[in-house]
């Protein structure tokens, strides 16, 4: 029977024997009205009810529609809002409905039986945890523990929510475990750390915590991925791996890190911890050739695409993605958009970024010319030599550094304000570049080579004419370089000076090659193209510094045969096979490589350690294929697989069989992109009514979605904005339907 506080079913059914819409509306006008619903013809309290105790709100109105559509009338048991005694009676009724909940407590051991506690559906998660702690009778700090719902793969982190709100019943398998657990972390320099990572937060926040511990700024550029399985020989299994242990670092120190002599205070606790920080912040010596050959080397674009399928989802936690305690993950720079690199503050970041770039070159993850490989080898040799003789100081007087930085910025500001009127008038006259260049438009099945024209560079556009005399009239074509891609293709020894331009077009990108005659011409036109691609004219103050930077880059590739022989005789211990990729191990003998690397070394020997690191990264970023992350996809309407290259500012469609670039789309021409999570398809709309759609094959579409949204997020960073990372915006751009 129903409680006495409810009206009898028979009495109500007599009044509401003919339920209709107007009666429903009258019933729903009273606030505090509650309902029990019975099947038609069932007036006993033993009938099947919904047991939801629905209020008068939209649930009832929804039932009205259901009643009309299906012609199924219900008898209603009405309870109007009464005295406090009736409410107390209802609470008492609920509190009496207790049931047993079994929870596995990890700290009791793997063989311990689950802990059973008596709960009610209105008990909040915090109350469940209190009961568990009391039942275990273990005195310890439980603040890092939380409940994990095994069936739903979900953390119960909202301690104010009740069991009923979470939908937890007696058959739920719950685990009471720590949120931070040990994790093996493979660094870009090849070393392995053991640290406590958060298994309950999204991976994006977990990476932020790891970078905070390691003193790496801008953690949004990094992420975690599953490592490539390495085939180990029997003799390798016996070799113990060196692991740097950071599991004893208190979480409180990591959440609020403070610097001690330029490094986080938790690294100054002991000599062992200082050794860990030294490993993080100092570049490693060149690896032995056998170490390089053991590493996984992608043999094709498809192999590179499979690696990108290993990135973890930044919106979900480690536990949800099957990562367990003591598992191994890689920490890598995922987004090749490096913001505000300052050698004074980015000691660890700069060292790890150099290591990732060096291994990408040694393992041929990115293509480069033979001359560029020799230059990379020379820079590695110089960096290792300088780091051994003059290691970077980990400590610094921050007060003096800040004062010096402030004085320098003030000096620059004063110089800018003291410019004379004549200088201003001179800058108002926009300079031009005029010269004969050769142009080539690479197209399929064409036999035409380079043609010489008279070129005029003005503002952000290039125009070319048949001859200098015809430059007064209309040009053959005018090319606007704003938003284009500029890449060098240089071989100083062969006197090859090419400028590769990718010009935005409605259907994608048009490729144009400009050939210069000499270094002087190349430096000027290359500097102008780079500025124009950013929307700057030749009158910009950075034009001359850009020219000087290009000249210094060319100077590093020049050979110095006269001095190389002396250098070779003074240093015969150079291991060239540790400085170049395995392809050159097979192509050349060490005696052939040594003089070429030492020739290039003479051009960088005067660089400081920091300048050498920065120069290495600059040349790496200037490579044509820099920053490309590959995914094998199938475009809508196509019957064959193709490759999608994801760059910091564009998407590239690549023919899988030939390797040619078919189309290019820039992010700044993108209007919107959508993901159909049911069929795993990404659809993108560009300006000019250009629409593309593709399904992902070697990676989940969430990874592609995260790459696109992540690069758009990286482009929103600026010095004018707050230094605080906008996590909400990142998750909006990359999270997908799971995050929402």
Instruction: Please report the pLDDT score of residue 391 as a whole number.
Output: 56
Q: What CA–CA distance (Å, rounded) separates 220 from 713?
A: 9
Kindly provide the residue ranges of all beta strands, DSSP E only, lying in 106-203, ordered along the sequence. Answer: 115-120, 145-149, 154-156, 174-178, 180-186, 192-198
Q: Where are the alpha helices (DSSP H) in 142-215?
A: 163-166, 203-214
Nearest to 155 by CA among 133, 136, 180: 180
Q: What CA–CA distance (Å, rounded) separates 640 from 655?
A: 10
Domains of the chain with bracketed CATH: 9-94 (no CATH), 97-178 (3.10.20.90), 430-538 (2.30.29.30), 629-739 (2.30.29.30)
For residue 600 the two structure tokens come to 């290039």
Q: What CA–CA distance (Å, rounded) separates 452 from 141?
A: 77
Per-residue pLDDT band at 553 (split at 50, 70, 90): confident
Does the pLDDT at position 455 exceed 90? yes
Helix (H) or strand (E) holding 405: helix 398-417
Per-residue pLDDT band at 661 (split at 50, 70, 90): confident
Q: What CA–CA distance (Å, rounded) separates 383 from 381?
A: 6
Instruction: Please report the pLDDT score of residue 394 as a whole number.
Output: 47
Q: What is the pLDDT of residues 252-303, one digit of tens each?
A: 666 666 666 667 888 888 888 889 999 999 999 988 888 888 888 888 999 9
Instruction: Please report the pLDDT score of residue 359 as a whole number.
Output: 96
**DSSP code at position 124:** B
Contacts for 633 with CB less than 8 Å, ≥ 6 apart: 641, 642, 643, 644, 694, 695, 696, 697, 704
Q: Where are the alpha helices (DSSP H) in 418-559?
A: 421-428, 519-533, 543-556
Instruction: Please report the pLDDT score of residue 14 as a whole number.
Output: 38
CB-based contact 127:113 (threshold 8 Å): no
The residue with greater pLDDT, 54 or 337, is: 337
First-to-last alpha carbon distance for the chain, in angstroms, is 44
CB-based contact 705:314 (threshold 8 Å): no
Lowest-pLDDT choice from 62-66, 169-173, 501-505, 594-598: 62-66
Per-residue pLDDT band at 684 (split at 50, 70, 90): very high
Sign of the CA dihedral running 53, 55, 56, 57: negative
Q: What is the pLDDT of residues 555-573, one digit of tens each?
A: 877 765 544 444 444 455 6
Centre a 10 Å sphere on the Cβ of residue 654 and count the other Cβ atoms it contains. 20
Instruction: Please report the pLDDT score of residue 113 as a whole number.
Output: 94
CB-based contact 493:502 (threshold 8 Å): no
Q: What CA–CA distance (Å, rounded) separates 477 from 461?
A: 10
For residue 586 the two structure tokens come to 């097979």
Rounded to 5 degrees, what are φ and ψ at 169? -120, -175
The CA-atom distances, in angstroms, between 567 and each of 58, 344, 381, 599 are 86, 32, 13, 9
**DSSP code at position 27:** H
Per-residue pLDDT band at 177 (split at 50, 70, 90): very high
Nearest to 668 by CA among 463, 461, 487, 485: 485
Q: What is the per-residue DSSP string for 581-640?
A: -HHHHHHS-HHHHHHHHHHHHTTTTT--HHHHHHHHHHHHHTSTTTT-EEEEEEETT-SS
Does the pLDDT at position 488 exceed 70? yes
Nearest to 34 by CA among 73, 64, 60: 60
Lowest-pLDDT choice from 343-347, 390-394, 439-443, 597-601: 390-394
Contacts for 136 with CB less than 8 Å, ≥ 6 apart: 105, 107, 108, 115
Q: What CA–CA distance (Å, rounded) separates 672 from 684?
A: 6
Provide, rounded to the nearest whole percent, the portion of the chain with pLDDT above 90.
Answer: 48
Does the pLDDT at position 647 exceed 90? yes
Q: How far is CA 165 from the centre of its chain?
A: 34
Q: What is the pLDDT of residues 42-65, one digit of tens each?
A: 444 444 333 333 333 333 333 333
Sign of the CA dihedral running 458, 462, 465, 468: positive
Helix%, strand%, coil% for the chain, nearest 5: 40, 20, 40
Lowest-pLDDT choice from 78-87, 258-267, 454-463, 501-510: 78-87
Average pLDDT score over residue span 455-484:
89
**DSSP code at position 201:** S
Centre a 10 Å sphere on the Cβ of residue 226 and count the other Cβ atoms it contains. 17
Per-residue pLDDT band at 628 (split at 50, 70, 90): very high
Instruction: Please report the pLDDT score of residue 261 as a whole number.
Output: 64
Instruction: Please report the pLDDT score of residue 263 as a whole number.
Output: 75
State how beta strands 34-38 and 75-79 pair: antiparallel
Lowest-pLDDT choice from 308-317, 398-407, 701-710: 398-407
SS (H, E, C) 559-573: CCHHHHHHHHHHCCC
Arithmetic mean of pLDDT over the chain: 80
Instruction: Please report the pLDDT score of residue 730 as a whole number.
Output: 94
Q: What CA–CA distance (Å, rounded) separates 247 from 180?
A: 10
Q: In what order do the strands lie in the sheet with 496-505?
A: 477-480, 461-465, 451-458, 433-440, 508-515, 496-505, 485-491
Rounded to 10 deg, the angle between the 590-601 and 561-570 helix axes is 120
The SS3 assignment for 495 reads: coil
Q: What CA–CA distance (Å, rounded) separates 192 from 581?
A: 23
CB-based contact 511:440 (threshold 8 Å): no
Does the pLDDT at position 539 exceed 70? yes
Provide, rounded to the nearest whole percent, the portion of the chain with pLDDT above 70.
Answer: 74
For residue 196 the two structure tokens come to 């406590």
Centre a 10 Å sphere on the Cβ of residue 222 and count the other Cβ atoms it contains. 22
Q: What is the pLDDT of residues 379-432, one digit of tens each?
A: 999 999 998 876 554 444 445 555 555 555 555 445 444 444 444 444 455 678
Environment class of 612 (CB within 10 Å of its CB; exposed 0-12, middle 13-18, buried 19+): buried
Contacts for 92 with CB less than 8 Å, ≥ 6 apart: none
Instruction: Please report the pLDDT score of residue 118 as a whole number.
Output: 94
Centre a 10 Å sphere on the Cβ of residue 354 and count the other Cβ atoms it contains. 23
Q: What CA–CA distance (Å, rounded) separates 520 from 435?
A: 12
The SS3 assignment for 488 reads: strand
Nearest to 589 by CA among 601, 598, 576, 602: 576
Instruction: Please report the pLDDT score of residue 413 as a whole number.
Output: 47
Lowest-pLDDT choice from 211-220, 387-396, 584-593, 682-691: 387-396
Q: What is the per-residue DSSP string for 645-666?
A: EE-SSEEEEE-TTT--EEEEEE
Paired strand residues for 154? 149
Average pLDDT score over residue span 153-172:
95
Block residue for tokens 């992420």: 223
Per-residue pLDDT band at 484 (split at 50, 70, 90): confident
Q: What is the pLDDT of residues 354-379, one digit of tens each?
A: 999 999 999 999 999 888 999 999 99
The residue with greater pLDDT, 357 or 445, is: 357
Total residues belonging to the chain: 740
Per-residue pLDDT band at 80 (split at 50, 70, 90): very low
Environment class of 88 (CB within 10 Å of its CB; exposed 0-12, middle 13-18, buried 19+): exposed
């Amino acid at each position: 029977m129903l409680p006495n506080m409810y009206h009898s079913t028979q009495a109500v059914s007599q009044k509401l024997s003919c339920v209709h819409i107007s009666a429903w509306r009258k019933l729903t006008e009273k606030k505090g009205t509650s309902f029990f619903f019975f099947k038609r013809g069932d007036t006993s309290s033993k009938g099947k009810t919904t047991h939801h105790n629905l209020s008068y709100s939209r649930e009832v109105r929804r039932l009205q529609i259901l009643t009309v559509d299906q012609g199924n009338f219900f008898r209603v048991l009405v309870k109007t809002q009464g005295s406090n005694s009736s409410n107390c009676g209802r609470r008492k009724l609920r509190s009496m409905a207790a049931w047993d909940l079994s929870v596995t407590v990890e700290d009791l051991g793997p063989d311990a039986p689950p802990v059973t506690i008596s709960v009610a559906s209105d008990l909040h998660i915090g109350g469940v945890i209190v009961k568990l702690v009391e039942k275990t009778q273990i005195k310890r700090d439980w603040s890092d523990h939380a409940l994990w719902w095994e069936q739903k793969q979900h953390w119960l982190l909202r301690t104010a929510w009740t069991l009923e709100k979470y939908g937890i019943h007696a058959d739920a398998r719950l685990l009471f475990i720590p949120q931070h657990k040990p994790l093996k972390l493979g660094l870009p320099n090849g070393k392995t750390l053991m640290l406590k990572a958060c298994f309950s937060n999204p991976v994006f926040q977990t990476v932020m915590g790891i970078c905070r511990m390691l003193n790496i700024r801008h953690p949004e550029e990094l992420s975690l991925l599953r490592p490539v399985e390495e085939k180990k020989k029997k003799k390798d299994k016996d070799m113990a791996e060196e692991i740097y242990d950071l599991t004893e670092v208190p979480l409180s120190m990591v959440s609020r890190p403070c610097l001690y002599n330029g490094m986080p205070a938790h690294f100054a606790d002991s000599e062992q911890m200082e050794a860990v920080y030294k490993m993080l912040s100092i570049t490693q010596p060149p690896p032995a050739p056998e170490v390089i050959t053991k590493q996984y080397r992608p043999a094709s674009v498809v192999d590179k695409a499979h690696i990108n399928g290993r990135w973890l989802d930044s919106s979900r936690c480690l536990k949800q993605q099957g990562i367990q305690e003591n598992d191994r993950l890689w920490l890598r720079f995922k987004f090749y958009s490096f913001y505000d690199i300052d050698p004074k503050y980015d000691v660890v970041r700069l060292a790890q970024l150099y290591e990732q770039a060096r291994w990408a070159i040694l393992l041929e993850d990115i293509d480069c010319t033979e001359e560029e490989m020799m230059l990379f080898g020379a820079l590695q040799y110089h960096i290792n030599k300088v780091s051994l003789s003059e290691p970077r100081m980990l400590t610094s007087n921050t007060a003096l550094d800040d004062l010096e930085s402030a004085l320098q910025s003030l000096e620059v500001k004063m110089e800018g304000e003291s410019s004379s009127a004549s200088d201003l008038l001179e800058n108002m006259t926009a300079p031009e570049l005029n010269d004969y260049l050769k142009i080539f438009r690479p197209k399929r099945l064409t036999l035409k080579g380079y043609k010489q024209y008279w070129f005029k560079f003005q503002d952000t556009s290039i125009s070319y004419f048949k001859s200098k005399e015809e430059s007064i009239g209309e040009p053959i074509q005018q090319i606007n370089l704003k938003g284009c891609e500029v890449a060098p293709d240089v071989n100083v020894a062969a006197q090859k000076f090419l400028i590769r331009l990718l010009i935005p077009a409605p259907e994608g990108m048009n490729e144009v090659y400009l050939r210069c005659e000499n270094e002087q011409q190349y430096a000027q036109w290359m500097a102008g193209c780079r500025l124009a691609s950013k929307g700057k004219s030749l009158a910009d103050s950075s034009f001359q510094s850009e020219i000087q930077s290009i000249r210094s880059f060319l100077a590093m590739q020049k050979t110095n045969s006269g001095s190389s022989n002396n250098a070779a005789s003074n240093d015969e211990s150079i291991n060239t096979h540790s400085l170049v990729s395995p392809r050159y191990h097979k192509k050349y003998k060490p005696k052939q490589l040594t003089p070429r690397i030492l020739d290039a070394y003479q051009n960088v020997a005067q660089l400081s350690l920091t300048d050498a690191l920065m120069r290495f990264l600059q040349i790496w970023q200037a490579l044509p294929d820099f920053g490309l992350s590959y995914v094998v996809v199938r475009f809508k309407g196509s019957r064959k697989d193709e490759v999608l290259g994801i760059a910091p500012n564009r998407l590239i469609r690549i023919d899988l069989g030939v390797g040619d670039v078919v189309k290019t789309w820039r992010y700044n021409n993108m209007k919107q992109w959508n993901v159909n999570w049911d069929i795993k398809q990404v659809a993108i709309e560009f300006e000019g009514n250009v629409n593309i759609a593709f399904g992902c094959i070697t990676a989940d579409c969430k990874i592609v979605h995260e790459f696109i949204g992540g690069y758009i997020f990286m482009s929103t960073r600026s010095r004018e904005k707050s230094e605080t990372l906008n996590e909400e915006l990142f998750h909006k751009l990359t999270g997908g339907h799971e995050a929402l």
